[in-house]
Amino acid sequence: MDWRVKGTIQKILGALPGGHGLHFHLQRRFGGLRDFDRELATKVDDWEIMIGHLRGAGIVLPGVRCFEIGTGWYPTFPFACYLAGAARVTTYDLNPHLRMDLTLRCADVLGRFLDRIATAAGVPLADVEQRHRQLLDRLRADADLETASDGVIHYRSPADATRTALPDGDVDVVFSNSVLEHVPPDVIDAMYAEAMRILSPRGLMFHSVNCGDHYAYVDRSIHQLHYLKYSDNQWQRWNNAFLYQNRLRAHWFVEGARRHGFDIELDTSTTRPERMRQLAGTPVHPQFAHVPAEQLCITSVDFIARKPAASAAG
């Protein structure tokens, strides 16, 4: 599909009464939800990567209190964290996208990945299997997420991750997966400030950011640096309620966390030759001229930002 066609359709749907429902059904038939099992498997891959990075930073899931920004249509990461033994997983979404039919299917399909969840988290497979049986049985009996997970998963939507009302130091890990690239810069700053407040001393933020042009996933004639051709005013024509892209570069997210007082312990951003070649052939808009090419061309980053122990007193 031509990316401009998709952008126009989404723009129109975003302005229509009932447009969100129509958009969901289009996603089921033509978009990312068309192959649910494949999409979920990709999310499990992403969760494994996150857990590996957290373990490298000294965080193991059993007993940990987690806070997720951006639940989505079904709670893959909260379910996987619960199955791995997290003490609490609070998940916030600005809009109530969660669907119980997809949530039940998510829990069911996760049964194929229990050994991977146990291995990634370093916990006994028998414990993961027991939690999964209970979760699935209770969801099939129409229990809500909190009841089905023995009080571990707390879903809140509509909810504002910049003003959580959680107590100071109440969580150990704040995380998101492919969310921050869809959030306005001032809101990201506010999220960082709130994360600093609610994290325990030495607690962590982990964010995986896909900061390439998402239209490239549906239109193979363009690449992930394509949207750098446009000014902010021009790009507003294509930004919409369903696919807002802030076009911030990878270093901005990391440096923003540092500005808020976090210590950066992981930054996977990498300048790739393929992206440099694509950038060289792209008429980049002058508003990006201040960004070095080696940073401008990076389209993804995982990073860990740690709250310093001294922040507990300050």
**Mind listing the domains of the chain with CATH numbers?**
3-312 (3.40.50.150)
The one-digit pLDDT tens for each residue of the chain (314 residues) are 899 998 888 888 888 787 777 767 667 666 667 789 999 999 999 999 999 999 999 999 999 999 999 999 999 999 999 999 999 999 999 999 999 999 999 999 999 999 999 999 999 999 999 999 999 999 999 999 999 999 999 999 999 999 999 999 999 999 999 999 999 999 999 999 999 999 999 999 999 999 999 999 999 999 999 999 999 999 999 999 889 999 999 999 999 999 999 999 999 999 999 999 999 999 999 999 999 999 999 999 999 999 999 754 44
Q: Is 190 exposed, middle or buried (0-12, 13-18, 19+ CB in 10 A)?
A: middle
CB of 76 within 8 A of CB of 91? no
- Rounded Cα distance between 133 and 111, Å, is 9
Residues 6+ apart with CB under 8 A from 311: 196, 201, 261
CB neighbours of 278 closer than 8 A, spacing ≥ 6?
A: 223, 224, 225, 297
Among 28, 67, 216, 38, CA closest to 152? 67
Q: How many CB atoms lie within 10 A of CB 58?
A: 10
Most distant CA pair in the chain, distance: 57
Give dist(CA 194, CA 192) in Å, integer: 5
SS3 (DSSP) at 176: strand
Instruction: Quote the pLDDT of residue 283.
Output: 97
- What pLDDT, on the 0 to 100 scale, is given for residue 161? 98
Pairing of strands 153-156, 65-69: unpaired
> Cα–Cα distance between 309 and 204 in angstroms, integer?
11
- Is the Cβ–Cβ distance between 138 and 147 less than 8 Å? yes
pLDDT of residue 15: 81
pTM for this one? 0.94
The structure tokens listed for 199 are 């994290």
Q: Can you give the three-state secondary structure of 178-223, one letter per residue?
A: CCHHHCCHHHHHHHHHHHHHHEEEEEEEEEEECCCCHHHHCCCCCC
Give yes or no for a contact between 172 and 200, defined as CB atoms under 8 angstroms apart: yes
- Please give the Cα distance from 34 to 25 (Å, whole number): 10
Rounded-to-integer distance, Cα 143 and Cα 1, Å? 39
